[in-house]
Structure 1
Amino acid sequence: MTPTITKEYRLPEYTGIQALRLHEAELVALRGNDVLMKVHAVSLQYRDLMVATGKYTPGVKDNVLPCSDAAGEIVEVGSDVQGWKKGDRVCANFSVDHIAGDMTESIRQSALGGPIDGVLTQYKVLPAHCLVSIPGHLSYEEASTLPCAALTAYNALHGPVPMKAGDYILVLGTGGVSIFALQLATASGAVVIATSSSDEKLDKAKQLGAKHVINYKKTPEWDQEVLKITNGRGVDHIIEVGGPGTLPKSLKAVKYAGWIHTIGFLSSEPSEGANLAMECLSKACFIRGILIGSRHQFEDMNRLIIAARLRPVIDKVFSFDQAREAYEYLESQKHIGKVVIKVVN
C-alpha cells in the first residue's frame, strides 16, 4: 500500500539548529513523471548549517524541509515514468533540474533544501529526471553522501581541464568535499597534498592516499610548504573550501595556469587583504566557482566510483530522531568525511 503520510523535519524559522521541528505531513499526489522514494539515509552539508542559521544568501523558501542529499528506494512510479521501477535504489541530484550543461538561474532555483523543499523526511516525491542509480557496492548510508560532496569534488577535478595522472592536487581540510577529492584524485593517479589543523585527521588522510600532509597550525605558511613539495612549480588543482581566509595563500600555491576551485568559506582566518585580481593575473590561473554538478556528471562519477570500488568516508551515523544532534556534531567540525542521518532503522 502506497504511504500517504510522512514524518518530516521543517525549519519554521532560521534561528539555529534548535528550530528544527519534526512533524507529520500528507504526501502530495504523484504526477505522471514523478516517483515516490522511501528515504533510507540523508547526509549533512555545511550548507545545511547555513540554512538553519539564516546565513544561506542564495535564498531559502519559508518553512523549508531541509537537506539536499538522500539515498533511498522507489516505492511508487508515476504513469509516464520510464526506466525506473519499484525497488530501484536511487539518489536525487542536488538541483533536480540540472540534467546536463552549465548552471542557470532557473536550475539554481531547483536546489533541494533551499529554494525548494529538501529530503529530511521518510518519503519524498521527486521528478524521475533527477534520479541516479546507486552503485551496487554502496550502502544507503554511503550513497547518501554522493549528491553534494562527492559530485562537487568530481566537478572540480573533472571540469574544463580534467586532472590527470601525476598532477598535484591540494585539498584544504578533511571535510566531505576534500576527502572525496582526495579519494577521486588518488584513484586517478594524481598526487594529493592535504592540509588540516589536526595530526589525527592528517593520519587518516594519509591512510586514504594523501602523499603529503601539512598541519597548517604548525606550518602557518603552508603555501610555501606546498611550493617546496612541488619543487617551486605549484599544484595543478586546489580544492578551495576556506574562502577569503585561505584564497591568498592558494593563489601562491597554485601553478601558472593552474586551477583554484572555490567551494566554500570555512576559514575563520582574516583575509590578508591581498589584491586577488592581480595575484590571479600574475599566475595566469583560473578561479572557478563550483555549484555541485549535473545529473550526467553524477552518472559519470558513479562509473569511476564503481571501477575504483571507492567507499565514502562516514564519520558518524545518527538516527532520524537524532537529527539535531547530527547537526550539532557537524557544527563541531570534529568529523572526518561525512555525517549521516539514518532515516530507516
Structure 2
Amino acid sequence: MVEYTRILILASGGGHTGYAISIAERLIELDPSIEPLFIVPRGDKWSIDRINRKLGETKFIEVAKLRNPGESFVKIIYMLPRTFIDSLRIHGFFDVMICTGSNHGIIPVITAWFRRVVKSIYCIEDVFRLEKPSRAVNILHKLGLANVFLQWREQYRLYDKRSIYAGLVYEKPMYRSVDKGYILVTMGTLGHPSLAELLLKTNLEYVIVQTGRLVDPQYIRSRKTGWRVFQFDPDIDKLIAEASVIVSSPGLTAINAAIAYRKPTIMVYNPNIVLGASFKEIARVAEMLNIPFINPLNIEPGFFEEIVLNAKPTSVEVVDGGYNISKYIVEFLND
C-alpha cells in the first residue's frame, strides 16, 4: 500500500492561492506520492475551483479569514474565535506546512505548531516586498515558527536568518500561448476602481475585463457595450494564453502573464491596496522584469493607450522558485 507524504498548503485566496498551486503542481511532478491538503478561506469557491481545475480533485479544509483587504481591523477581533475553531479541524500529522503570505495563515500555523501536528513550517515572501517584509510572514518568522523562502536575493536584507533564496514563484502554463487579438485587463481579487476609470476614458477596442470585488461589471458594460466584463473566472489562464496584451494590477496574474506565458504585460499601481508593497517596491520589481509600470492617477488616457498598443514581451529570464522550493521540500522529506 502506498504511503502518502502529508503536506499542508495554505491557499489563502488571490495570488496566495496561485503560490499554493505553483508549489503543489511542482511537488506532485517531483514526487507523485505527495497528496497535498489545502487550507482555503471559508466560502472561497474561486480558490477551490481553481485548484481543482489545475490539480484535479483535491482535499480542502476551510478556515475563516481574519480580514480581507480593505476591511476594518476590528473584524480581526470577532473573527479570531471562528478562525481558531476552524484551525482545530486540522487533523493528523504533517511533514511540512507551507504558508503563502496572507494573514489567513497566522492562526492555522500557530495552532498547528502548538498542537505539534507539523514537523516543519515554511512561508513564501511576496515577490513585491523589497524594503519591508509582509506582515504575516514577518510575524511567523519572528515567532520562530517558520523559515522563509525568498523570491529575490535582495530580500535577504529583510530576514537575518532562517531564509532561503528560491527564485520567482509562478504557475505553470495550462495552455499554449496564441494571439487572438484582444486586450485582457485583470483587476485582481480586490478590484481596481482607478484602472476602471482610466479604461473608460480610452478608445481601446476588443477588451476583456476581470473586475474583482470593488468594481461592478455592469458599470463598465453600460459604458463600453462591446467589451466582455466579468467579476471572476477560475480559468483566467485561457484568457491570458489567448490575449495580445495583459494589463494587470500588481500580483501573481501579472507575473504569470509575463513569465509563464511570455505575454506583453503592463502593471498598473492600485492605490486601494493600502497594506501591500509600496509604489517604489513594485516599480523596482517591474524594472527587474522589464515590464511597464504606471500610476493610473497621473497618466493621460492617450498615453496609456499608446503603452498598451506598443507593449512587448519581456526577455528577462528568471529562476523558477516554485521548482526550487518543491525540490528543497522533497529533499527534506527524503532526509
Query: TM-score, normalised on structure 2?
Result: 0.31
Higher percent of residues as strand: 1
Query: TM-score, normalised on structure 1?
Result: 0.30
